[in-house]
Amino acid sequence: MKTKLFRQVLSATLLIAGLAGTIHSTQSIAQGYPDKPIRIIVPYGPGGGTDILTRNIADRLAKKLGQSIIVENRPGADGIIGTGIVATAKPDGYTYLMAVDSHIMNPLLYKTLPYDTFKDMTGVTLIARSPYIFVTKADQPGNNIKEFVEETRKEPNKHSLANSEKFSLLLNQAFASNEKLDVIHVPYKGSGPMLIDVAAGTVTMSPTSILASIPYLQSGRMKALGVTGNERSPAVPNVPTLKEQGFDSYDFYVNYGLYAPAGTPRKILETMRIAVKDVVETPEMKAILIDKGAVPIANSIDEFNALQKANFENLKRLAEKFNLKAE
């Protein structure tokens, strides 16, 4: 009897000691974090909206955390290459992913991925979101989306809609289907090279982030035809929404999210999330984001992960509607 009682007490003592050690270890990691440079992977090419936003935040985040933030562009395969690097990285808080909603759409479009989108990754925070803006070459016929549709219907299979990832392809598919347009869909590895071709007239039109399009609009190399959503963007107040022009509102947005490998200690994720939130909420960064058409959000880890799952279900319904199938 005494032996049995002794074993029970010993087991309980070891369990408590183990839990205490784990808690102490996690706290120690969080308290000493970060103690070396942090890497943020952008799974798209340089010059796009995600790349621009990441570099703007990284500079300020480095000062906040007291460590260098290294931004790496790893484009290819609709963001899968860069995402795979993060999904398989050591979950120690030194490797992150900055991605848009194509990240959660890829499971619908690829039968096999080198990682599980929801099991191998966790959201850290939704940093900001921006409506899509439809842009075309400055001298392209049509000064708004309505005139563009009229011109495109006159010449079936001549005009092209470019996309920088599968999420914007879905927007293009929805737009072409709803407006009965016979167009060619042209994919690109990121909005940077895509917008170069839009400005040159190589492709006719593209939806993209306001963030990436502003330099082209300001230089006069492109013109804007309309924005998605129910409200005009303060960054381009003279550009009407599609809804204003008599079309569906097309509730599509560019969501800029920060992700980490699953298993990264919660305290480290919270340290990073709070640092990002502090940076995003500074008057300077808020002004930069709003000026570039993005609305600051910086929500919690749980809120962001719940939003990702809800967005995935919405994308799943749209992919089925427009017959986008896994390859």
Each residue of 44-55: pLDDT tens digit?
989 888 998 999
The tens digit of pLDDT for each residue in 1-14 reads 444 444 444 444 44
Fold match between domain 35-130+253-321 and domain 131-227:
yes
Superfamily of domain 131-227: Periplasmic binding protein-like II (3.40.190.10)
Specify the DSSP class assigned to residue 229.
S
How wide is the angle at C-alpha 321 spanned by C-alphas 318 and 323, nearest 5°? Answer: 105
- Max CA-CA distance within the chain? 93
Q: From the CB of residue 18, how many other CB atoms can be counted at a distance below 10 Å?
A: 10
The residue extents of the domains of the chain are: 35-130+253-321, 131-227
Average pLDDT value for the chain: 88
Does residue 200 register a pLDDT over 60?
yes
Using CA atoms, how far apart are residues 292 and 269, in angstroms rounded to an integer? 27
In DSSP notation, 95-125 reads EEEEE-THHHHHHHH-S--SS-TTTSEEEEE
Give the per-residue pLDDT at 2: 42
Q: Which residues contact 121 (CB under 8 A, 6 or more apart)?
A: 83, 86, 87, 97, 115, 259, 260, 261, 262
Q: Which CATH code for domain 35-130+253-321?
A: 3.40.190.150
What is the mean pLDDT of the segment spanning 306-314?
93
> Is the link from the previous residue into 261 a cis peptide, with omega within 30 of 0?
no
Give the per-residue pLDDT at 22: 43
